[in-house]
Amino acid sequence: MTVIKVPHPPKGSLNPDRPASSLLLAQVVHLHEAEKNLPLRYRSERYIKSVRTEGEAASYIREVTEAIHSAHEEARRGRFAIRRKAAIAADTAGPRRKRSGTRRSAKKRNKVRGRRRG
């Protein structure tokens, strides 16, 4: 894989009091839409129309990103616990019972029953 080097921004370019650009505000709106799908305990209480500067946008983006990661981590742990319980239940269920009769393909069943494909 080819490594793409991205240069660091020049010193002094970070200004948290600078008004946020339209691109940054669009990202805030996008994250707000994603935040609506999170459980209530992970949602921020922040009103996004009040985000005006780069510093405010950065703190909101950080807060929502961490909430999304936390919600996904909790969901992953829940899925793992369910899978583990199912595996334990399968181990204690005992041996499986064999099916009675033989299994035939649809072609053979139709041949036995005298049906034709048409």
Which tokens hold the place of 76?
């992953």
- Of 9-18, 52-61, 62-71, 107-116, the range with the lowest mean pLDDT is 107-116
Rounded to 5, what percent of the chain is helix, strand, coil? 55, 0, 40
pTM for this entry: 0.59
Distance, in Å, from the CA atom of 33 to the CA atom of 39, rounded to the nearest integer, reads 13
CB within 8 A of 31, min separation 6: which ones?
60, 61, 64, 65
pLDDT one-digit tens code per residue, 72-87: 998 888 877 666 666 6
pLDDT one-digit tens code per residue, 28-79: 999 999 999 998 889 888 899 999 999 999 999 999 999 999 999 988 888 7
